[in-house]
Amino acid sequence: MLRSRRVSGLFACALALALTAPGAALAQTYPDRPIKLVVPYAPGGATDILGRLLAAAMGEHLGQPMVVENRPGASTVVAASAVAKAAPDGYTLLLGSNTTLTLSPVIRSRLPYDPVRSFTTIGLVADMGLLVVRSDMPGSTLADIVAQARAAPGQLSYGSLGTGSATHFGAEMLQSAAGIQMLHVPFNGSAPNLTALMGGQVQLALDTVVASTPLIEAGKIKPIATLGSQRLLRLPQVPTVAESGYPGLEMSAWFLFVGPADLPAPVLGKLEKALADTMASAALKKKMQDLGLTPAWGNGAALRERVQRELPMMRAVAARAGIRED
């Protein structure tokens, strides 16, 4: 009996110590104040709108407001670095993208964060389709464009959202698959990229479905193909690159939630559940689809697996195409 009481007493002491540990105490009260969601782009764009939709819905599930803070700069590096250095308490999160975790890391030799070790993965959120579009140049199919590029190597120019962007990587993958050479003209965002296309400064452009669709619907630019694995809901008439003769070629922009490394497991659990509940909303999915985004929820483990799968693939593309930003 004495031994039993002694064991029980030791168990109670151990339990008390566990409950008073910093991580356990934080988990019991989390969240008890507003949470900051850092968005690595300026207000008004697709990522910012997505961030505000998710912040409002997740805040309701967590019982505390989630406040968006825009920190654009250096292809998401400024925002990602700030979150990587934040306290691992669940009050500073990042709405990142594949640019953050699988593109910038393979083209920059000096990056202020590690794409795997610097973050706690919370979940995948959405994919955003990429399009090959043209203005008034001849040819209405990808085969037509490839034929023109082969006839004049290096003379057909295309605009992208910048060196090392998903659109740049997608174009390089297409050139490799088709055996063509085009002239890359990088721009700082969709507005200058598509303006240059309409003005004839470039013959083609790779851009997002979100930015391209209004101009397509207005008849100002024409879609050639989408780089995704499936046709887009907003543009069902546009074939995929795979359907156009290049099976296996796939590239999109995709979005994710991460926090600083070493988030306490109970805090991570609450965040994963809040994100899962948010992404299960039919109303939210409809709003995302209206923007041109494809809801694509996955938990933290799914996000880690995607990053680990795509990093070597993107590293190979960058090496083959000579994409560097240092």
Q: What share of the chain in percent tops pLDDT 70?
A: 91
Buried b (16+ CB within 10 A) or exposed e, 141-179: ebeebbebbeeeeeebbbbbbbebbbbbbbbbbbbeebe
Residue 3 has pLDDT above 70, yes or no: no
Q: What is the pLDDT of residue 28?
A: 78
Give the CA distances from residue 320 to residues 107, 241, 272, in Å, rounded to whole numbers and listed in that order: 12, 20, 37
Residue 134: what are its φ and ψ, rounded to 5°? -135, 170
Spatial contact of 48 and 39, defined as CB atoms under 8 Å apart: yes
Query: What's the pLDDT tens digit per position in 34-51?
Result: 999 999 988 888 889 999
Percent of all residues in the chain with a pLDDT value above 90, rounded to a whole number: 80
Q: How confident is the model at residue 273 (pLDDT cuts 50, 70, 90)?
A: very high
pLDDT computed for residue 60 by the predictor: 97
Query: β-strand 157-160 against 204-208: which pairing, if any?
Result: parallel
- How high does pLDDT run on average in the chain? 91
**Predicted confidence (pLDDT) at residue 275 exceeds the cutoff of 80:** yes
* Nearest Cα residue to 96 out of 81, 85, 111: 81
Distance CA 12, CA 29 (A): 22
Q: pLDDT digits over 76-89, tens only?
A: 999 999 999 999 99
Mean pLDDT computed over 161-172: 94
pLDDT of 175 reads 96
The pLDDT of residue 139: 80
Q: Tell whether the model's pLDDT for residue 103 goes beyond 50.
A: yes
Is the pLDDT at 21 greater than 70? The verdict is no
The larger pLDDT score, comparing residue 69 to residue 43, is at 69
197-247 tens-digit pLDDT: 999 999 999 999 999 999 999 999 999 999 998 899 889 999 999 999 999
User: Span 148-158, mean pLDDT?
Assistant: 96
State the pLDDT at residue 2: 43
CA-wise closest residue to 98 among 121, 68, 127, 55: 127
Model pLDDT, residue 159: 97
